C-alpha cells in the first residue's frame, strides 16, 4: 500500500503478517470443523459391534479446540490494534460487530459443548456451533470486501489537506 493519508494517520488495517495469521487460523479452524462434521454426519466405520464413529473425529475435535486457543488470543490482540481504532470513525462497524458477536458466540458455544452434559442441550449447541462456524467465512469476506472497496475509493479521490 502506498503511503497515503490513511496510512499516515494510522489505519486500523492489519499488517501482512497479522492478516496471514488471522486468515490461517480461521482456515484451519474451518477445515478441522468441516472435516469433523463430514466424518460425524456421513462417515461411519465398521466396528466389532456394528457401525461406529470414525476414529479421527476425536482427534479432529481435540485439534479444533487446540486451535481455538490461539484464535481467541488473536481476537483479543485485534481489539486494540484493529477494532478500537476503527470504532470511533465508524469504519465497518456493522460487519465488524457481527464478526465479534459471531466469534464470541462460537467461543461460548465451544466452551458449552465441552462442559454441558445434557444431551438435548448438547445437540442444539452443536448444531448452532457448526451453523455459525460455516457462516463465519461469509461474515469475514463481507468485512474484507467492504474495507477493500472503501480503501480503493479513498485511493482514487485526491487527498486534500485539512483546511485547504
* The C-alpha cell that represents 6 in the structure block: 490513511
Q: Which of 12-16, 83-87, 100-104 has the least mean pLDDT? A: 12-16
In 3D, which of 13, 8, 7 has the Cα closest to residue 83?
13
Entry pTM: 0.81
- Say yes or no to pLDDT of 101 above 90: yes
Span 53-80, pLDDT tens digits: 888 999 999 999 999 999 999 899 888 8
CA distances from 140 to 2, 9, 112 (A): 24, 25, 24
**Strand, coil or helix: what is 99?**
helix
Q: Which residues contact 141 (CB under 8 A, 6 or more apart)?
A: none
Q: Give tens-digit pLDDT for 1-24.
A: 444 444 334 567 778 888 899 889
Amino acid at each position: 500500500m502506498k503511503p497515503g493519508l490513511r496510512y499516515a494517520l494510522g489505519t486500523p488495517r492489519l499488517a501482512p503478517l497479522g492478516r496471514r495469521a488471522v486468515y490461517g487460523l480461521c482456515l484451519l479452524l474451518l477445515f478441522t470443523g468441516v472435516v469433523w462434521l463430514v466424518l460425524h454426519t456421513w462417515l461411519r466405520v465398521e466396528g466389532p459391534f456394528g457401525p461406529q464413529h470414525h476414529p479421527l473425529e476425536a482427534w479432529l475435535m481435540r485439534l479444533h479446540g487446540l486451535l481455538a486457543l490461539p484464535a481467541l488470543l488473536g481476537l483479543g490482540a485485534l481489539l486494540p490494534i484493529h477494532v478500537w481504532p476503527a470504532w470511533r470513525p465508524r469504519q465497518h462497524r456493522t460487519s465488524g460487530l457481527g464478526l465479534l458477536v459471531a466469534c464470541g458466540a462460537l467461543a461460548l458455544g465451544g466452551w458449552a459443548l465441552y462442559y454441558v452434559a445434557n444431551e438435548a442441550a448438547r445437540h442444539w449447541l452443536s448444531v448452532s456451533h457448526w451453523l455459525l462456524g460455516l457462516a463465519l467465512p461469509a461474515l469475514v469476506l463481507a468485512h474484507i470486501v467492504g474495507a477493500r472497496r472503501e480503501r480503493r475509493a479513498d485511493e482514487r479521490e485526491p487527498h486534500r489537506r485539512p483546511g485547504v
